[in-house]
Amino acid sequence: MKKIKIYLILSVCFFRILEANQGNTSTTQTVLSRSLVDTLNVGLEDTVNIGFSPGDIMMEVFKVPGDLTLNGVGVGVHQWNTDGTYPSLKVEVYRPDTAGYPFTSAGSMYSFGDTAESGWIGFAHPAENDSIAYPDPSSDSNLVWNNFSAGTGICSTEPEVTDGQPVWGTKVLPAGNDVMIPRPTGGSTGLYYVDFAGGGAQFEKDEYIAVVVTYLADNAGDPADESARILLNAADASYLYPSPGLQYFASGCSGPSGEHGWHIMPNAWKFQYVVDITGDIPPEIDIYHVGLSTTTGLPDPIPSMTEIKVMATANDYNPSGGSEGIEVVVLHHQLNSLTADTTSEYMSTAFNLVLQVYVYHTEIPGVSNGTTVYYWVSAQDVEGNISNTNKQSYFVGTSTTDNNAPSSFTLNEQDSVYITMANFASDSIVFTWSESVDIDGDDLLYDFMAALTINGQTQAIYSSSSLTIREMKIDYQSVYNELYNAQALLAGIEWDVTVTDGFTEVTSGNGTLILGVNASAAFLSINGESLPEVFTLHQNYPNPFNPVTNIIYAMDITSDITITVHNIQGQLVKNLFIGNVKPGQHTVSWNGTDRTSQPVPSGIYIYSIKSSRQILAGKMMLLK
């Protein structure tokens, strides 16, 4: 079985057939046929069902792909209530704008992943009574939004959301009487369409439509009765941002956070939007092949470090009469996380003799065993409209249940390190370890971690991840600087290594080891037993740096000196030191500020030291 999953990002889908129409209070169902481009949805493929009880509300926001008029809404009912009552669903359309969801009162959007338990937004209530909940301040008179007396919810002391605001915005449909979907006598399920009498509502490109479906309490059963629940068709929307689905829990403390009121949900309700498109719309994309070659699909398992070919079609249909044509098609991918850095690659064009169309293709580079690859395709048309496909993923290698862990390995012990004036600026401590072997043939990566301890306190951490070699170096100078700053002669470096095959992490068999460091010879040299023979300026450390670096220099005689920093144009940035120094090793620090103590921008800077006899200079780089 191929290990391939589908995840979702906000996109536009088009389809032809609407199953039923139910407008106003009529129970008549008619089959309608509409054109290819006038029924849109948020692009969710899978179907689950989510229930709601009398008084609860389902809401979905949809970002429109182009200027359009919304004429109707389709609601997919998976199962009607079975408690013997005949309730109705009220359907409304709102324009959230910045005064509603997905925006906060600060103008930003709610954080990605804040759904369900962590997705509580709040509710409206009388100013003098936090416990009586309403979905919106317009639901009754003298209502306020959140602003709870204790600053928390009333059920579970859930903190009040920062910058929260009502979710609906401005109501635009229906313009007249309420529009209902009453429970049919036979309880037939399917897609119920609501057409709004008196004309639709116009929305501009990139505006949000908010469809609100309320389970009216009138003629309904007990909200605590499971048989009173109505189930709507829904889908996993946990990878869409902003999350399109909200649910209002009317019953006390019944929401996933333990509170009632509005919650951002990891699902959306698969509403259908019946529209007349009046503006240009983005291209339609279809990823029709993913595999090892143009004719071979994905094997199971997918071998590590194997390129994967992705092929897609992209078409630009503009029913509004705008210019048609594809400008560019791009493949994007992320590794192991939907919030990881994205790598993008332009897709090449070729004519497919079988499909008799031009197709777009490129490759996702091979990755190591145990890696999940998320990928999707975007296309931009000649008028600048951009669309994205659903996000999909595949897994490289075998599952953890079939995996054998890397073999054990050991750290190579060594004698104490002695730092002297002769070697501190040039030599390094070299840490090595034996080889670990993976019988599955998985690629192995080593992680190194070390802590420099002086007088029982950790002064510095050294680490490096995903090493393919069995060696790590720490330069003497960095260790010496820490000892010098602490005015200590001795230190210890505690170090260890782990190895992973992408599934299992194994720690060395003999770690953690402690390596002794002795810098007494260097300090004795500074104190006069072996003074520097020449005036020397060392490379600053660290370099590049942010925000502080150390400049180390050695004096062979007593002298007045000036240490300065200039920018690459030769302009003076700051005087670091002006004064008389004695023979020996010295250090001065720069914190990346100018003469007025203001931070300077990233770039290359020149540091120089002027003595009574000569001037020495070096380059350093500030990276922010």
Question: Helix, strand, or coil here: 401?
Answer: helix
Which of the 8 DSSP states describes residue 156? S
**Which candidate, 441, 432, 439, places its Cα nearest to that of 414?**
432
Share of the chain above pLDDT 70, in %: 91
The pLDDT value given to residue 556: 84
**49 near 270, Cβ under 8 Å?**
no
**607 near 551, Cβ under 8 Å?**
yes
Angle at 474 between CA 517 and CA 410, to 5 degrees: 80
Computed over every residue of the chain, the mean pLDDT equals 87
Between CA 133 and CA 459 the distance in angstroms is 55
Mean pLDDT in residue range 566-577: 91
Q: Phi-psi bin for 540: left (phi > 0), alpha (psi -120 to 50), beta?
A: beta
Lowest mean pLDDT among 243-247, 470-474, 477-481: 477-481
The pLDDT value given to residue 252: 83
Between CA 244 and CA 128 the distance in angstroms is 32
The pLDDT value given to residue 112: 83
Question: Helix, strand, or coil here: 477?
Answer: helix
Q: Please, what is the end-to-end C-alpha distance for the chain in angstroms? A: 47
**58 near 247, Cβ under 8 Å?**
yes
pLDDT band at residue 492 under the 50/70/90 scheme: very high
Tokens in use for 299?
Answer: 């094997």
Note the pLDDT tens digit of each residue in 539-559: 888 888 888 998 988 888 899
Strand partners, 587: 552
Mean pLDDT in residue range 420-432: 86
Backbone φ and ψ of 402, nearest 5°: -100, 0
Between CA 46 and CA 237 the distance in angstroms is 10
For residue 4, is pLDDT > 60? no
**517 near 475, Cβ under 8 Å?**
no
Beta-strand runs (E) in 183-281: 190-195, 201-203, 208-215, 230-236, 245-249, 261-264, 267-268, 272-277
Domains 284-397 and 532-622 share a fold: yes
Strand partners, 326: 381
- The CA–CA distances, whole Å, from 218 to 55, 87, 88 equal 9, 7, 8
Note the pLDDT tens digit of each residue in 67-121: 899 999 999 999 999 999 999 999 999 999 999 999 999 999 998 888 999 999 9
What b-and-e string marks burial along 481-512, b requiring 16 or more CB atoms within 10 Å of the CB?
bbbbeeebbebebebbbbbbbbbeebebeebe
User: In CATH, which superfamily holds the domain spanning 532-622?
Assistant: Macroglobulin (MG2) domain (2.60.40.1930)
Q: How many Cβ atoms from other residues are within 10 Å of residue 398's Cβ?
A: 20
Parallel, antiparallel or unpaired: strands 513-518 and 417-418:
parallel
Integer-rounded Cα Rg, in Å, for the chain is: 33
More confident residue, 24 or 620: 620
pTM of the predicted model, to two decimals?
0.58
- The CA–CA distances, whole Å, from 522 to 222, 526, 538 equal 83, 6, 15
Between CA 446 and CA 91 the distance in angstroms is 57
The fold of 417-525 is Immunoglobulin-like (2.60.40)
pLDDT band at residue 217 under the 50/70/90 scheme: very high
Domain boundary assignment for the chain: 20-277, 284-397, 417-525, 532-622
**Which candidate, 589, 597, 598, 596, places its Cα nearest to that of 620?**
589
User: In CATH, which superfamily holds the domain spanning 284-397?
Assistant: Immunoglobulins (2.60.40.10)
Between CA 177 and CA 167 the distance in angstroms is 22
The pLDDT value given to residue 399: 59
Which of the 8 DSSP states describes residue 523? H
Tokens in use for 259?
Answer: 């509170």
* Percent composition of the chain: helix, strand, coil (DSSP 3-state, to 5): 5, 45, 50
More confident residue, 39 or 526: 39
Chain centroid to Cα 554, Å, comes to: 48
Between CA 554 and CA 589 the distance in angstroms is 15
pLDDT band at residue 525 under the 50/70/90 scheme: low
- Residue with structure tokens 């990276």? 623
Tokens in use for 518?
Answer: 């002795």
Q: How many CA atoms lie within 13 A of 339 on its CB side?
A: 5
Beta-strand runs (E) in 365-504: 372-381, 386-388, 392-395, 417-418, 428-432, 445-454, 457-467, 471-475, 490-500
Q: DSSP per residue over 234-255, as a string?
A: EEE-TT-SS--EEEEE-STT-S
Between CA 416 and CA 29 the distance in angstroms is 87
The pLDDT value given to residue 402: 65
pLDDT band at residue 2 under the 50/70/90 scheme: very low
Backbone φ and ψ of 457, nearest 5°: -115, 140
Note the pLDDT tens digit of each residue in 258-273: 999 999 999 999 999 9
Backbone φ and ψ of 73, nearest 5°: -135, 135
Beta-strand runs (E) in 151-189: 170-173, 179-182
The pLDDT value given to residue 539: 84
Note the pLDDT tens digit of each residue in 323-375: 889 999 999 999 998 889 999 999 999 998 887 889 999 999 999 888 899 99
Between CA 566 and CA 572 the distance in angstroms is 4
The pLDDT value given to residue 400: 55
Between CA 601 and CA 543 the distance in angstroms is 15
